[in-house]
Amino acid sequence: MEPNVSRRHWLQRFLGGSAVAATTLTQVKQAYAAALQAVAPPQAWRHDEGYWEKVRKQFMLEPGFAYLNTGTLGPTPRPVYDALTEYWRLMAVNPNENSNIFQERQEQIRVKAAAFLGAGIDEVAITRNTTEGNTTLCQGLDLKAGDEILHSAFEHGSLRQTWGRQAKRFGLVVKEVKFPAPPTNAQILTAFEAAITSRTKVMHFANPLGGSGTFMPVKELAQLAHSKNILCFVDGAHCIGMVQFNVASWDIDGLACNAHKWLCGPAGAGLLYVKQSVQERIWPVMAIGPQKGARKYDQLSRRPWPCVAALEDTLDFQLAIGRARLEQRTRALGSHLRSKAAEIPKVKVYTPSDPAMSCGSTSLGIEGVSGQRLREYLRQKYDAYIPGGGSAVRVSTHYFNTFEQVERVLKAVRELATGMA
C-alpha cells in the first residue's frame, strides 16, 4: 500500500468507491471478488486487443516496458498485490488470531487448487515452491544403491542437483536422457525407452522443459513408465498458469509447481500433487501434523499465510479470465514469435513448431551472436526484458503481453542477425 493511503481509501479503490473499511479476511475477499469484474470478459467476447488491453491494465508494469520473462518470475496483477498487502497488514495488527483465520482457510484453498489441477482433494499439498515439491518426491522415496533415476538432459538445476545429492548419499544412478532440440514426440519416447533398465525406478522430467519450452508427451511417458513398474514425476513449474492440464488424465504419480511464474502470483506458495495410490511410498520431509493423505507433505509449522491466501486469489484471477481463453492468447503470441523468427536467416528456434509441443515459452539463438548480446540490445533499444546467456535466449510471451512487444523482439533479432545493429 502506498504511503499515506488509508485502509478506507485502499478499499475504495478496490471496490470502486465503497466506504466500507477492510478489517477482516472476509471483507478483503469480498473486495477482491468485486475487483475481478474488471477482467471478466463479456458473453459476446471476441479475440481482440481491446479486451487484452483491459486485462493488461490490471498489471503494474511500467508503461511501454515489455516484460518477457514470466518463465522466471511473473508480474503480479494489481488486485492480487493489493489483497496480499492487506493480508500482511492483518497479520501485523493481530498476528495470532489472524494467523489462525488464514490457516482455517487452507482447506478451502486446497479444494480450489485440486480442481485446478484435476486432482482429488486428498492428493494436493500446499507448498512454498516447485523445488520444495520436487525435493519431497526425491527424498521421500525409499531407494537403494544401484537404483536408477531417469531425467532429461534439459532439466532445471534444482532437480538435477537434488537427484545428484540423493545419488551421492545412497549410491543411486542418475541417467540423463538426451534428444535433439527441437525434438519430436517420437524422439523423446524412443530416448527414454532406450534408457530404461531393470534397475530403473523413477522417471522425472519438466513439462514443458524450462529452457526450450518443449512440451513433453507426458501421457505416453507415464504409460511407458507404468508398463515397466516405474514411477513418473513431473516438474510442472512452467505448465501451471500457461496451459490447461489434468494430472488424472496424464496419469502421472506426482507433480510439483509454483505460483510465481505463469500463474503470476507472489512467490512463497506452490502445489504438490501426489497420486493417492503412491502416497504410502513417499515419506514427508517433515514428520509433524497429520500423516495421511497429501496433507502430510505441507505440514511446515509456521509459514507465510498471506502468500497461501494470495495463491487462492491468483487462481481466481485466471479463472475470471478463463483458462481456455488465456491459453489461446498465450499460444497465439508464442506461435507468432516462433513462425516469424524461423524465417530470419541465421536464426535457430529450439522450441518445436508443433502446437502440441509448444506454447508461451520460446528458445532461440542467432548464429554468431551471444544470448547476452541479444538480451542487452533488446533492453537498451526496445525497452524489453528477457533473460540471456550462452548461445540462446528464452522469450516468455504470456497473456498480458502484446503482439507489438513480440514485434520488438523480432526486430531486434532481425537487426542482429543481418548485421544492422
- The C-alpha cell that represents 267 in the structure block: 512467490
In a domain, 18, yes or no: no
User: In one letter, which amino acid is 349?
Assistant: V
* In-domain check, residue 404: yes
Same domain flag for 158 and 275: yes
d(CA 70, CA 241): 10
The answer to whether residues 118 and 217 belong to one domain is: yes
Do residue 297 and residue 149 come from a single domain?
yes
Is residue 9 domain-resident? no
- The per-residue pLDDT for 302 is 83
Question: Is residue 16 situated within a structural domain?
Answer: no
Tell me, what amino acid is at 56? R
pLDDT at res. 1: 44
Q: What confidence score (pLDDT) does residue 46 get? A: 60
Residues 139 and 277 in one domain: yes
Q: Do residues 260 and 376 share a domain? A: no
Look at residue 63 and tell me if it is in a domain.
Answer: no
Position of cell 486432482? 119
* HEC assignment per residue over 58-111: CECCCCCCEECCCCCCCCCEHHHHHHHHHHHHHHHHCHHHHHHHHHHCHHHHHH
Which of 282, 317, 352 is a domain's end point? 317
| 155, 206 contact by CB (below 8 A) | yes
Together in a domain, 297 and 365: no
The answer to whether residue 21 is domain-embedded is no
pLDDT at 389: 77
Out of 255, 286, 317, pick the residue that ends a domain.
317
Backbone φ and ψ for 22, nearest 5 degrees, come out as -80, 105
Instruction: Using the 3D structure, point to which of 317, 336, 363 is the last residue of a domain.
Output: 317
Cell 502484446, located at residue: 402
Domain-embedded: residue 45: no
Model-level pTM? Answer: 0.92
- Are 266 and 371 found together in one domain? no
Looking at the fold, whether 189 and 311 belong to one and the same domain comes out as: yes
Domain around 151: 104-317
Burial class (CB in 10 A: 0-12, 13-18, 19+), 234: buried
Separation of alpha carbons 273 and 258, rounded Å: 12
| β pairing state of 347-349 and 270-274 | unpaired
Q: Is residue 28 part of a domain?
A: no
pLDDT of amino acid 262: 98
220 and 359 belong to one structural domain: no
Q: Which residues pair with 148 in a beta bridge?
A: 173, 200
User: What pLDDT, on a 0 to 100 scale, did the predictor assign at position 59?
Assistant: 97
pLDDT for res 20? 33
d(CA 416, CA 27) in angstroms, rounded, equals 52
Tell me what pLDDT residue 2 has: 45
**Rounded Cα–Cα distance for residues 298 and 60 (Å):** 31
| 265 and 145 assigned to the same domain | yes
CATH number of the structural domain spanning residue 353: 3.90.1150.10
Q: What grid cell was written down for 401?
A: 503481453
Domain co-membership, 354 together with 391:
yes
Nearest to 252 by CA among 272, 270, 280, 268: 272
144 and 217 both lie in a single domain: yes
Tally of domains within the chain: 2
Each residue's pLDDT expressed in tens, for the chain with a length of 421 residues: 444 445 445 455 554 433 333 468 899 999 999 999 989 887 665 668 889 999 999 999 999 999 999 999 999 999 999 999 999 999 999 999 999 999 999 999 999 999 999 999 999 999 999 999 999 999 999 999 999 999 999 999 999 999 999 999 999 999 999 999 999 999 999 999 999 999 999 999 999 999 999 999 999 999 999 999 999 999 999 999 999 999 999 999 999 999 999 999 999 999 999 999 999 999 998 877 767 899 999 988 888 999 999 999 999 999 999 999 999 999 999 999 999 999 999 999 999 999 999 999 999 999 999 999 999 999 999 999 999 778 899 999 999 999 999 999 999 999 999 998 7
Domain CATH code at residue 312: 3.40.640.10
